[in-house]
A and B are shown apart, each in its own frame.
Chain A
Amino acid sequence: MTNSRLESIEDFAASVAEAVGATSHSSDLGTVKVKVERERWVEAVTAARDIALLPLFSWLSAVDWTNDVAVGDPPAEEVEERYEVMCAVSNVTDGQIVVLSTDLPKDDASIDSVVGVYPGANWHEREAAEMFEIDFIGHPNLIKLYLTSDFVGHPLKKSYALISREVKPWPGTVDVEDMPESASSDAPSFENPDA
């Protein structure tokens, strides 16, 4: 990725942030991410579609930010306990994609549904609702998507333990495959076999 491309992404991020009324934006690693306030979520997503001209809905999901994790590694630094809801929308002219993001407090995990803006968000919100226990206000049919209706728990929460990991603890680095010789400085070079 060239510098000019990175600069143009930075410009693009700024323009989208202005269009949706974002509180902050970033374009680290080429991923445009704009943060909006939770109260303005539907408004911001609508603006992304109509003003920033991003008609292609890509995905909607959430992240459980917590310091007390039952599985995996905890965050590197202390984080604020919250859910981050993310919605990625894209344009179809030059392939730019924007991740809109907002924070929900853990004790009031509810947000307005964007199904009215992008109907494709329907299933994504159902998935996020069952996986994170987030309430999408105004969703037409907020029933479980993947899980059975009598399923207990919300699997993608960091507090939801994986039973198999409880039974057999994390093995550490033993099953990490050794990287081969190419890691050293004399990496072998290859010719085309019949060139």
Chain B
Amino acid sequence: MLEVRGVTRRFDNLVALHDASLSVGEGEFVAIVGASGCGKTTLLRLIAGLDSDYEGEIALDGQRIVGTSLERGIVFQEPRLLPWLTLWDNVAIALENAPLSAAAKKEAIAAQIALVGLSGFERAYPSALSGGMAQRAAIARALVGHPSILLLDEPLGALDAITRMRLQEELLRIWRHEGVSMILVTHDVEEAVFLSQKIVVMDTHPGHVTATVPVDLPTPRDRASPAFSALKGRVFEALHDNAAVKPPEVEYLI
């Protein structure tokens, strides 16, 4: 449903992203991994429509992406909650322009807050929430309008290891419950292997896609299993020697 074909993004003379291609199927969970500076966030911002100065083609359901849309929810690296709004209002603001009745909005907001496990905190201001709670609220805000695809820009990067693992499970549960496609940008290979069905590996200078690794592990995934480790190893390999080595399991796009 989401097709990215030959996308290049230049900032003056710097090529941040060169000829990147990837596809995300209906309800698919795709992870993009790579070191900082590989253009993964640039790519996500292009898909979100926050940046539209690019060459190539990005299309959702055959429609070229122009500007932002509620069809594409986004969760940023930091929760980015408005500090003057309560949790409820922070989620509600995403429905400000939704063509729904007040009652339907209320129901959707309550359901979404319940889904991310924050019921009871509706009236709390962001300053009273922990980092993990704030990021859950940001996820609820991105999902409340029922987008067809959710874009996650290293949403768990700033959290401690325990909270991060817990939220990874949550993310998986939400993904199953909502049936929404997800693109997760991360630099944590384990996170990518744990969550996604497909991993797009990127590299720097200029930012480009080096490999796409399918993750065919059964769920729920056991982080300690040999198959899990083997897959992690394959992704690391793709990260390190990208085009130099070509293991048979890795399917190359370029």
**A in complex with B:** no
Chain A interface residues (CB < 8 Å from chain B): none
